[in-house]
Amino acid sequence: MQLTRITAIRHGETEWNAARRVQGHTDIGLSAAGREQAARVARALAGGERIAAIYSSDLARAFETAAAIGAAVGVAVQPEPGLRERNFGRAEGLTFDEFSRRWPEDAERWRKRDPHWSSDGGESLQQLWERITGVAHRLGAQHLGQHIVVVTHGGVLDALYRAATGLGLQDARTWQLGNCAINRLLWTPDSGLSLIGWADDGHLEQSAADDRFPDPPPEPDRWAAPWNRAWQTLGLPAPAALLPRLLACYAEPRRHYHTAQHLGECLTHLERVWAQAERPGEIALALWFHDAIYDVHAPDNEAQSAAWARRALQEAGVPDDVAERVHALVMATRHDAPPQGGDARLLVDIDLAILGAAPERFAEYEQQIRAEYAHVPAAVFNARRRALLADFLARQPLYLTPHFHAELEAQARANLQTALARLGDFPVHHGTGGLAAGLTGLSNKAMLAAADE
Q: What is the pLDDT of residues 304-314, one digit of tens each?
A: 999 999 999 99
In a domain, 213, yes or no: no
- Nearest residue to 447 via CA among 343, 356, 366: 366
The residue annotated as part of the active site, out of 80, 85, 265, 372, is 85
Domain boundary among 169, 200, 231: 200
Residues, the chain: 453
**What is the bridge-based pairing of β-strands 147-152 and 53-56?**
parallel
What are the backbone angles phi and psi of residue 197, rounded to the nearest 5°? -160, 150
In a domain, 287, yes or no: yes
Residues 6+ apart with CB under 8 A from 32: none
Secondary element (H or E) of residue 104: helix 104-111
In a domain, 206, yes or no: no
Same domain, yes or no: 189 and 234: no
What are the backbone angles phi and psi of residue 437, rounded to the nearest 5°? -65, -40
Q: Give pLDDT, residue 444.
A: 43
In a domain, 453, yes or no: no
The domain that holds 37 is classified in CATH as 3.40.50.1240
Same domain, yes or no: 88 and 166: yes
Percent of the chain having pLDDT more than 90? Answer: 67
In a domain, 104, yes or no: yes
Same domain, yes or no: 98 and 165: yes
Same domain, yes or no: 175 and 225: no
Arithmetic mean of pLDDT, 444-448: 42
In a domain, 214, yes or no: no
Same domain, yes or no: 24 and 89: yes
Identify whether the C-beta of residue 416 lies closer than 8 Å to the C-beta of residue 355.
yes
Same domain, yes or no: 193 and 247: no
Which residue has better confidence, 410 or 252? 410
Q: What is the pLDDT of residues 255-280, one digit of tens each?
A: 889 999 999 999 999 999 999 999 99
Same domain, yes or no: 72 and 183: yes
Q: Give pLDDT, residue 207.
A: 53
In a domain, 207, yes or no: no
Q: What is the pLDDT of residues 334-357, one digit of tens each?
A: 988 899 999 999 999 999 999 999
Q: How confident is the model at residue 220 (pLDDT cuts 50, 70, 90)?
A: low
Same domain, yes or no: 183 and 284: no
Same domain, yes or no: 196 and 232: no
Q: Give pLDDT, residue 103.
A: 92
Q: Report the number of distinct structural domains present in the chain.
A: 2
Q: In this predicted structure, which of 72-86, 149-163, 358-372 has the lowest mean pLDDT?
A: 358-372
Same domain, yes or no: 193 and 293: no
Same domain, yes or no: 188 and 238: no
Using the predicted structure, report yes or no on whether residue 118 has a pLDDT greater than 90: yes
Q: What is the pLDDT of residues 159-188, one digit of tens each?
A: 999 998 888 898 877 778 889 999 999 999
Which residue has better confidence, 322 or 224? 322
| 123 belongs to the catalytic site | no
Q: What is the pLDDT of residues 121-154, one digit of tens each?
A: 899 999 999 999 999 999 999 999 999 999 999 9
**Amino acid (1-letter code) at residue 206:** Q
In a domain, 215, yes or no: no
- Domain boundaries, position 249: 220-447
Q: Give pLDDT, residue 433.
A: 29
| 116 belongs to the catalytic site | no
Same domain, yes or no: 94 and 191: yes
Q: Is 15 exposed, middle or buried (0-12, 13-18, 19+ CB in 10 A)?
A: middle
